[in-house]
Amino acid sequence: MQLVAVAALSIVLGVALPHSFFEDWGWLAGPGAWLLCAAFTGRVLTLPLAPVLLGAALAGIPSAIAVVLGLHWLGAAVAVLVFAAWCARMTRKDARCT
């Protein structure tokens, strides 16, 4: 779900905004888009928002390291896998807390 949400939002933003926007504001737009997609994913999967956003933030750490190393899309792929593992470990009891 996160992979589809991130890909869809990336395509929409890539078409709607000039490349210069991402050069200037990517450091803010990227994490914001990631968290927005995580909130959407959590909502669709009926997971509690706070733990979902925490997991998204933690999963974003390897992505940020990859960006610094010039491997943006590899970092995004790793972050999606880490986020998926985070969400998968939440129990149904956690989901009923919302």
Give residue-wise pLDDT tens across range 53-89.
999 999 999 999 998 999 988 999 999 999 999 999 9
Residue 46: what are its φ and ψ, rounded to 5°?
50, 50
- What's the start-to-end Cα distance of the chain, in Å? 19
Domain locations along the chain: 2-95
| CA atoms of 30 and 27, how far apart (whole Å) | 6
Give residue-wise pLDDT tens across range 36-52.
999 999 999 999 999 99
**pLDDT score recorded for residue 96:** 54
43, 32, 45, 44: which is closest to 6 by C-alpha? Answer: 32
With beta carbons less than 8 A apart as the criterion, state whether 56 and 83 touch. Answer: yes
Over residues 27-42, the mean pLDDT reads 94
